[in-house]
Amino acid sequence: MRPLAVISGGGTGIGAAIAQGLSADGFDLVLVGRRAAPLAETASKLDGANTVVADLRDPGSAGVLLEAVGDREVGAIVNNAGGYLGRSGDDLPEIARQWRDTFDTNVMTAVVLTETLLPRLRRPDGRVILFSSIAAQRGGGGPYSAAKAALHGWALDLAVQLGPQGVTVNVISPGYVAETEFFAGRMTPHAHQSRVDQTLIGRAGSPEDIAQT
């Protein structure tokens, strides 16, 4: 039987590229996200891919995740869901809302998916992957940077917990990946070039670069 991978944020960008790579490597897939259309579009191009429309900020999504997995063992949990959330004002309630929503979007989505599927994770040789950001080390994103940094500490705790069972836990921190919804409509030519100039290879990363990591 083909191994199974579950990917959050699997409909677009880096998540879709990961799905394509794992499918080529012989994995069946469960792609999870909040929007049905991009999930369905990506899944339609892949063998053995199913989709789950769920909001992973809500622990109540655990039931639909378990239903999608059924009685199968999960070989890899890929936590790719997340994003930057702005705010509409500088009053304290709005600042607090932005922080809470950002942590829900970038941290709780990973917690809900991982903790839901841990009992089904293959032991040994299971994989847990968390997507952080270069902003976790460099800052510059306020609550987004802080939320992504939180994943690193949690990953270490998971590694200590699961390592003796033969499970690896890794954090990937992409830099500037231009071809993603994260940057869609936000980058001027000057801002794009400024980010490219900070790279060592003189170009923006691609979703495929990250998927091959």
Asked if 8 contacts 174 with a C-beta cutoff of 8 angstroms, the reply is no
Encoded tokens for 117: 């599927």
CA gap 190, 151 in Å, rounded: 31
Farthest CA pair distance, the chain: 55
144 flagged as catalytic: yes
Instruction: With H, G, I as helix, E, B as strand and everything else as coil, classify residue 53.
Output: strand
Q: Which residues contact 109 (CB under 8 A, 6 or more apart)?
A: 8, 56, 57, 79, 81, 82
Active-site residue identified among 27, 84, 144, 176: 144
Catalytic residues: 144
